[in-house]
């Protein structure tokens, strides 16, 4: 059985997701956005209390609020692998310049990563992730789809009732909409989606009600 636990870290309230299977003793951490030592302690205390050893960090994209805690987690668990799409490797340099860095206390990010590609299948800690490249919010944004459990980790591509912003460096509205409509909304409607910020949703719910997908919304079911 797949388990998930969502933590919300940093001033931008980024969702950090821990996933593990019964009996594995290992887990995967998605988007560790801890911006403070206290956040790292909260996460590592949870892992310790549940007997979980992180086998990998999966990054949905390279924006600072999703990678803030990578170094801290790597220091706590030496040898952990970090997976990221190569088109976001230089995103931190762009994000820490100009108005995007104003008011934020950035860490320097210099950690090795393993490239992921669209259509790639990763099996980590007993969980099979299908990589879906969904550029638009950033060039290297990806979603991770766990088909066996009808679960999508949608990062900042799709939110409950919203979509990722496209006014940051590397963002493109038309590309984002193409990613959502042709790569995400084709998934089964019962697929649960955990976004990079905010509350979980389902693909079906977003297909029917997300205002940013108009006029592509499916009709609401008729009441009996």
Return the biggest CA–CA distance within the chain: 58
Query: How confident is residue 24, by pLDDT bands cut at 50, 70 and 90?
Result: confident
pLDDT digits (tens, 9 = 90+) for 59-71: 999 998 999 999 9
At 98 the pLDDT is 45
Q: What is the pLDDT of residue 210?
A: 95
Facing residues of 194 across strands? 153
Is pLDDT of 124 > 70? Answer: yes
Q: Are 94 and 25 in contact (CB under 8 A)?
A: no
Cα atoms in the 13 Å half-sphere on the side-chain side of 105: 6
- Whether 222 shows a pLDDT value over 70: the answer reads no
Average pLDDT of the residues of the chain: 90
CA proximity to 42, closest of 5, 67, 71: 5
The pLDDT value recorded for residue 223 is 53
With cut-offs at 50, 70 and 90, classify the pLDDT of residue 214. Answer: confident
Contact 15, 197 (CB under 8 A): yes
pLDDT at 102 over 60: no
> What structural domains does the chain harbor?
2-155 (3.60.15.10)
Which band of pLDDT confidence, cut at 50, 70 and 90, is reported for residue 99? very low
Looking at residue 217, the DSSP 8-state letter turns out to be P
Q: What is the mean pLDDT of residues 36-51?
A: 96
pTM of the model: 0.91
The predicted structure's pLDDT at residue 8: 98
Dist. CA 22–CA 30, nearest whole Å: 18
Per-residue pLDDT band for 91 (boundaries 50, 70, 90) equals confident
pLDDT grade for 154, boundaries at 50, 70 and 90:
very high
Confidence of residue 47 (pLDDT cuts 50, 70, 90): very high
pLDDT at 95 over 50: yes
Decide if pLDDT at 215 tops 70: no
pLDDT score of 115 more than 60: yes
CB within 8 Å of 170: residues ≥ 6 apart: 88, 91, 94, 138, 139
Query: Which residues have CB under 8 Å from 132's CB, separation 6+?
Result: 118, 119, 142, 143, 144, 145, 183, 184
């Amino acid at each position: 059985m797949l388990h998930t636990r969502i933590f919300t870290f940093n001033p931008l309230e980024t969702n950090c997701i821990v996933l593990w299977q019964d009996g594995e003793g290992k887990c995967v951490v998605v988007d560790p956005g801890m911006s403070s030592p206290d956040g790292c302690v909260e996460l590592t205390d949870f892992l310790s209390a549940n007997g979980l050893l992180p086998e990998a960090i999966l990054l949905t994209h390279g924006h600072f609020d999703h990678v803030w805690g990578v170094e801290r987690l790597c220091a706590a668990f030496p040898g952990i692998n970090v997976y990221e799409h190569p088109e976001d490797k230089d995103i931190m340099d762009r994000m820490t310049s100009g108005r995007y860095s104003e008011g934020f206390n950035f860490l320097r990010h210099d950690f090795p990563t393993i490239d992921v590609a669209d259509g790639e299948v990763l099996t980590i800690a007993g969980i099979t992730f299908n990589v879906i490249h969904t550029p638009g919010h950033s060039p290297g944004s990806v979603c991770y789809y766990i088909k066996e459990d009808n679960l999508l980790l949608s990062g900042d591509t799709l939110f409950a009732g919203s979509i990722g912003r496209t006014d940051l460096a590397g963002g493109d509205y038309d590309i984002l909409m193409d990613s959502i409509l042709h790569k995400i909304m084709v998934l089964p409607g019962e697929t649960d989606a955990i976004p990079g910020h905010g509350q979980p949703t389902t693909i079906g719910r977003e297909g029917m009600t997300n205002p940013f997908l108009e006029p592509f919304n499916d009709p609401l079911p008729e009441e009996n």
